């Protein structure tokens, strides 16, 4: 039991020691992820907002990864937009604990099927 506690504690400390990272991607929702087409709601920003209204969670799409955002209020104004999120990613749960969300320069809502966000780690 002591060994299990020590292992869990160590893992938690290692995750915290990594500190905040920066992730570039598109604000989406957990139901649609990268593909809003099946929902038949346009534009994508409206789809994201509607899905969240009906129980989905705001998420960040980076490449093929969808990370649930711990902050479920700030992303509303960035729905379907390219952003930079600073925070700590918990890989096992795919939850991104958000410290800050910023719009990327020259931002426009991502075109349907054309989003190829990237992850940039500091």
d(CA 52, CA 55): 5
pLDDT at 121 (0 to 100)? 43
The residue with greater pLDDT, 12 or 86, is 86
pLDDT at residue 4 above 80?
no
Domain ranges for the chain, please list them.
20-103
pLDDT at 106 (0 to 100)? 72
Residue 10 burial (CB count, 10 A)? 10
Question: pLDDT (tens digit, 9 = 90+) per residue, 29-39?
Answer: 999 999 999 99
pTM of the model: 0.74
Compute the mean pLDDT over every residue in the chain, rounded to the nearest whole number: 83
Question: pLDDT (tens digit, 9 = 90+) per residue, 63-94?
Answer: 999 999 999 999 999 999 999 999 999 999 99
Q: Are 67 and 29 in contact (CB under 8 A)?
A: no
Q: List CB contacts of 51: < 8 A, sequence separation 6 or more.
A: 29, 31, 32, 39
């Amino acid at each position: 039991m002591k060994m299990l506690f020590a292992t869990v504690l160590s893992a938690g400390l290692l995750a915290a020691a990594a500190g905040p990272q920066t992730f570039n991607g598109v604000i989406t929702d957990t139901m649609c992820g990268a593909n809003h087409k099946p929902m038949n709601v346009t534009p994508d920003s409206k789809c994201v907002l509607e899905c969240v209204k009906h129980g989905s969670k705001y998420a960040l799409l980076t490449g093929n990864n969808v990370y649930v955002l711990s902050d479920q209020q700030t992303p509303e104004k960035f729905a379907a937009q390219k952003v930079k999120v600073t925070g700590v990613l918990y890989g096992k749960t795919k939850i991104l604990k958000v410290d800050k969300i910023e719009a990327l320069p020259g931002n426009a809502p991502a075109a349907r099927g054309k989003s190829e966000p990237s992850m940039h780690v500091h």
